[in-house]
């Protein structure tokens, strides 16, 4: 009996030590696992990792440049939606989208403190950059610096910017700031962070610039905003708020992708959505596509893209 109890005690201790060891392993490799996930998404698309110095941050990029001196498609990541100790997303949706883009020049840029740290080794990533300062002046300026770096390194003349979730806010703010951005696309974009935080009862983004305030400066910017019909994180009310701040324009289109949730339903459909023209149309109603929303009538989103049914 005593021998059996001794063996049971050893088994319990061994199991406890194994759990501790596993926990330590996870704690050590957790950031590495997410970096490895990003690498596995980028590598088949021939996108090469590069870290860009953009004070006060180092921004992680994955790049494929086949045609120097031409236009580049820039993808900006969303936030990490998990309860996690890291701001690096487990599912980098914008990187998945970029990997589906067959354009000659495709560049993905992560958010501050995703995959990397601060430019100064003595500084630590502040959690505010994943919260109230997500779209702060210094965060936007860091992306501005990164785009300047890309333009100079590869002789890129113009950019198409594509932002997912909070990356949509950053893409919108960059489009309002730069003259070399020729089109704007957002996927489940947070285009009014006041409406977003109010909807979820979360703290206000007091240190962030609201894309909504730049709406009036974007009336001549060709733009396409995609919204998920099953997205309860960034529902259609967010884009409605942005649209209501937009003066009359023929340069903005929106589409409701009925089956898409916030982080699913986008990737396989992206090549099809990317082919849709992003243009400004003349003032004749007959020449404005059916996907265009009039800012003064935001009640209904006019077009739906439905998934093809799976064959039994």
Of 147, 223, 160, 159, the residue nearest 191 (C-alpha): 223
User: pLDDT over 70 for what percent of the chain?
Assistant: 79
Tokens of 198: 């109010």
Q: For residue range 96-128, what is the model confidence (pLDDT) as tens digits?
A: 999 999 999 999 999 999 999 999 888 888 888
Residue 132: the pLDDT is: 93
- Rounded to two decimals, the pTM is 0.83
Residue 84: the pLDDT is: 58
Task: Please classify residue 254 by burial: count the beta carbons closer than 10 Å to its beta carbon, then call 0-12 exposed, 13-18 middle and 19+ buried.
Answer: buried
Mean pLDDT of 193-219: 96
Q: For residue range 122-135, what is the model confidence (pLDDT) as tens digits?
A: 888 888 888 999 99
Tokens of 243: 């649209």
- Alpha-carbon span 64 to 107, nearest angstrom: 6
Of 199, 206, 204, 258, the residue nearest 234 (C-alpha): 199
- Alpha-carbon span 150 to 156, nearest angstrom: 7
Which residues sit opposite 75 in a β-bridge? 108, 162
The SS3 call for residue 15 is helix
For residues 128, 131, 133, 138, the Cα torsion angle rounded to the nearest 10 degrees is 80
Q: For residue range 24-63, what is the model confidence (pLDDT) as tens digits?
A: 333 344 667 999 999 999 999 999 999 999 999 999 999 9
Phi and psi at residue 76, to the nearest 5°:
-115, 130
Task: Find the DSSP H helices in the chain.
Answer: 2-42, 93-99, 137-154, 166-177, 193-200, 236-244, 270-274
Cβ 157 vs Cβ 65: under 8 Å: no
Residue 23's pLDDT band, with cuts at 50, 70 and 90, is: very low
The residue that leads in pLDDT, 308 or 252, is: 252
Q: For residue range 217-272, what is the model confidence (pLDDT) as tens digits?
A: 999 999 999 999 999 999 999 999 999 999 999 999 999 999 999 999 999 999 99
Cβ 191 vs Cβ 218: under 8 Å: no
Tokens of 63: 């790049």
Q: Which domains, from first to last, does the chain contain?
A: 32-287 (3.40.50.1820)
């Amino acid at each position: 009996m005593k021998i059996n109890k001794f063996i049971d005690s050893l088994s319990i201790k061994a199991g406890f030590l194994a759990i501790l060891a596993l926990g330590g392993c996870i704690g050590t490799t957790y950031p590495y696992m997410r970096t490895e996930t990003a690498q596995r998404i980028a590598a088949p698309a021939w996108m090469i990792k590069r870290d860009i110095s953009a004070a006060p941050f180092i921004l992680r990029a994955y790049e494929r440049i086949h045609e120097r001196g031409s236009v580049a498609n820039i993808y900006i990541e969303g936030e990490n939606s998990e309860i996690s100790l890291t701001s690096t997303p487990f599912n980098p949706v914008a990187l998945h989208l970029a990997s589906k883009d067959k354009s000659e020049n495709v560049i993905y840029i992560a958010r501050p403190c995703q995959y990397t740290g601060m430019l100064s080794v003595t500084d630590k990533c502040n959690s505010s950059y994943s919260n109230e300062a997500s779209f702060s002046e210094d965060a936007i300026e860091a992306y501005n610096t990164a785009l300047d770096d890309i333009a100079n390194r590869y002789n890129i003349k113009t950019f198409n910017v594509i932002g997912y979730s909070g990356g949509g806010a950053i893409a919108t703010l960059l489009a309002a700031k730069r003259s070399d951005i020729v089109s704007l696309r957002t996927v489940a974009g947070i285009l009014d962070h006041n409406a977003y935080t109010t909807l979820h009862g979360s703290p206000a983004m007091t240190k962030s610039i609201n894309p909504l305030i730049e709406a009036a400066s974007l009336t001549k910017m060709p733009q396409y905003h995609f919204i998920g019909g099953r997205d309860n994180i960034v529902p259609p009310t967010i884009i409605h708020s942005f649209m209501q701040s937009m003066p009359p324009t023929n340069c903005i289109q929106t589409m409701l992708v009925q089956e898409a949730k916030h982080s699913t339903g986008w990737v396989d459909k992206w090549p099809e959505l990317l082919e849709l023209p992003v243009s400004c149309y003349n003032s004749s109603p007959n020449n404005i596509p059916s996907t265009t929303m009039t800012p003064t009538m935001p009640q209904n989103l006019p077009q739906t893209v439905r998934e093809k049914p799976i064959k039994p």
